[in-house]
Amino acid sequence: MIFFSDLDNTLIFGKRWTLNSDIDSIVGVERKDELEIAYMTNKGYELLKELSQNLNFIPTTARTIEQYKRIHIFKKSIKVKYAIMTNGGNILIDGDIDKDWQKRMNIKIKNSLGQEEGKEIATKIIGIESIKNLKTADNIYFYAVLKKALSEEIINELKEYFNPKGVSVKNVGKKVYFIPFGVDKHKACVYLKDLIGENDYFSAGDSIMDENMLLNSELGFIPASGGLSIQEEICNLKNIKISHESGPKTSEYILEYLLEKAKSKKFNKIL
């Protein structure tokens, strides 16, 4: 069985979470400029190591390849054969980009609005005074880092312009992502599922970026602290499970649940 999991705020957490949480012990999992910047609880880390030996664990993230490679535990203690990057735009197999998938994604990108033009329009609609930065993720999509969250009116205006141009608009906190249609975590999950030869998969994720992946999995986990946890129409679905914990302890709940099922081989009775 396969377990596709988002990383940030699902399995790993930034320093602000470790400062505000009642945690006895944490372990650094991501290093930037020689400093640890993301963490797991020690228990969560050990559970992930064990689970990765019992299931096909596949990190599934909106991160760029460079950002993903900062997570050092995937180079050492937790071996990862497959990984999904840039919200489904890239797939890594043994650390190398899957060229077949890349060709498919290049077609999706070419059929959508160009990124430079998109950045200009997004800046006009949002207002340059409200934008901290505009960034491009592996030349697949771009996103705006905001000074404050946008109003629903502006989000709708962005969607009205970009959707007909083949670009989806996804608002996550103080970031807005502009992603070509067809670049989607779930589509990358299906591609790998078929490549590996599995029928179903489990998943975990906290935001709208994970929605399709979660809805189409046999069982999808949503952290109690995640943005999707307040959407009743999603949370009430039979194949969706909300974690009992928030913050870094979320991963303990998800991983412990799956590990128990993996060891007992009761995947067909997981619901």
Count of beta carbons in the 10 Å neighbourhood of residue 179: 26
**pTM for this prediction:** 0.94
**Sheet containing 131-137: order of strands:** 131-137, 141-146, 175-180, 167-172
pLDDT tens digit string along 141-170?
A: 999 999 999 999 999 999 999 999 999 999
> How far apart, in whole angstroms, are the C-alpha atoms of residue 122 and residue 131?
10
Alpha-carbon 170 to chain mean position = 13
Which two tokens mark 32? 């930037």
In angstroms, the CA 195 to CA 190 distance is 8
Of the ranges 2-6, 250-254, 260-264, which is most confident?
A: 2-6
Greater confidence, 244 or 66?
66
Percent of the chain, pLDDT > 70?
95
CA 238 remoteness from chain centre: 22
Q: Are 243 and 223 in contact (CB under 8 A)?
A: yes
pLDDT band for 20, please (50, 70, 90 cuts).
low
Q: What is the mean pLDDT of residues 110-138?
A: 97
Residue ranges of domains in the chain, CATH in brackets: 2-105+184-269 (3.40.50.1000), 112-180 (3.30.1360.60)
